[in-house]
Amino acid sequence: MLYTKPSSPQGYSLNEFIGSGGFSQVWMGTHLYSDKIVAIKVIKKTELIKEENRKRFERELMIHKSAIHPFIVPLYDHVENIMNHYLVMEYLPGGTLMDRIHKGKPMNVLEMQHYITQIVSALDYLHNSLNVCHQDIKPQNILIDKSNNIRIIDFGFSTRFDSVNTCEISTCGSPKYASPELYAKVPHGKPVDIWSLGVIIYLCATGYYPFEHSSIERLSTMILHQDPLIPDELDSNLKDLIKGMLSKQPESRLTCNEIKKSEWLLQAQHENQDIQITNITCNNKKMMEIIKDKSSIVRMTKRYSSPNVNESLSLQEKLCASGRFKPIGQTPKKIIMKKNGWNTFDCGKSISPLCLKEDGIEK
């Protein structure tokens, strides 16, 4: 399908169509002042005449603006003109997690543990720091940067949950990743994202979906009433993790904190101490300086271990308050956990959420 290029937002040019979804298009663009490449999500204002769509967009914008985490795509700017809204985001050239999944072929275990650790870190932040359900966690919404780190994108279905951890009743997300409570159209909350991540883990581990059918009606019946068939050859700890995440009852489903403490993720730390996997890409200094009104946002790179991937927001606030981390527009620093506290050093080549050694930097 050919897409007509929309008018460009002030200060940017639209260059190349990337994709579409819902009532939006995504284009690769250029920030004219800095000549830096960005991703620009374009939403026609005519699509927002319906109250449901308008509220959904307002909710997406509010949540995305508040989501500051190394594994969530940053929202640089929001521009509008008479025709469109434009959400300007980081451009990630590494494709999606779906590009790394091949039908019938299991993903490398270390690679899978690497991605899952980062996804859990981001979900834990959304759930427990922002009180947000993403509600559309799937490989297509997980982008990969040039250093092989993930960014969660697309907050179009996201919503905040109330004091009893439930969201409004809705049917949303993608059918193969939707939880039983979404199909049952009952109040739901954080466990819907855990279910979706469980589907992703199953898909990465086997190359197949736990539930699959061309008929949505049959698919919903399977998700509501059937247990997934877990291959015998999978690691026993991985089997336990999948079963815990794909529990039909939301209240018995694992939480982010329990996933972080799962034997399957802990064994990655214990068995692969010398593996360096991840590097949070430092945002371009000039790019961040020229996007106005973003000086209060802190971009940070932080070293995580499997049991400790949940400190993101509170840590950022502490670092800001202590003056130990520079805001956007200044040279980023790495933050590394040591037994006696936090140390910083200039942003370098590679850090790993799985393989933190307690005494600091690897040789």
pLDDT of residue 318: 39
pLDDT higher than 80, residue 300: no
Whether the CB-CB separation of 39 and 90 falls below 8 Å is answered with: yes
**28-63: pLDDT as tens digits:** 999 999 999 999 999 999 999 999 999 999 999 999
Which one from 136, 145, 154, 193 is the annotated catalytic residue?
Answer: 136
pLDDT higher than 90, residue 305: no
pLDDT higher than 50, residue 24: yes
pLDDT of residue 165: 53
**98-114: pLDDT as tens digits:** 999 999 999 999 999 99
Q: Which of 9, 62, 18, 61 is nearest to 39 (CA)?
A: 18
**147-162: pLDDT as tens digits:** 999 999 999 999 998 6
pLDDT higher than 90, residue 312: no
Q: What is the pTM of this model?
A: 0.76
Burial class (CB in 10 A: 0-12, 13-18, 19+), 181: buried
pLDDT higher than 90, residue 345: no
pLDDT higher than 50, residue 262: yes
DSSP readout, 298-330? ---EE---GGG---HHHHHHHHHHHT-S--TTS
Confidence of residue 172 (pLDDT cuts 50, 70, 90): low
Q: Which residue has the higher pLDDT, 27 or 316?
A: 27
pLDDT of residue 348: 29
> Domains along the chain?
12-90 (3.30.200.20), 97-271 (1.10.510.10), 285-346 (no CATH)
pLDDT higher than 70, residue 346: no
Q: Is 136 a catalytic residue?
A: yes
- What's the mean pLDDT in 320-326? 36
Whether the CB-CB separation of 144 and 96 falls below 8 Å is answered with: yes
Confidence of residue 171 (pLDDT cuts 50, 70, 90): low
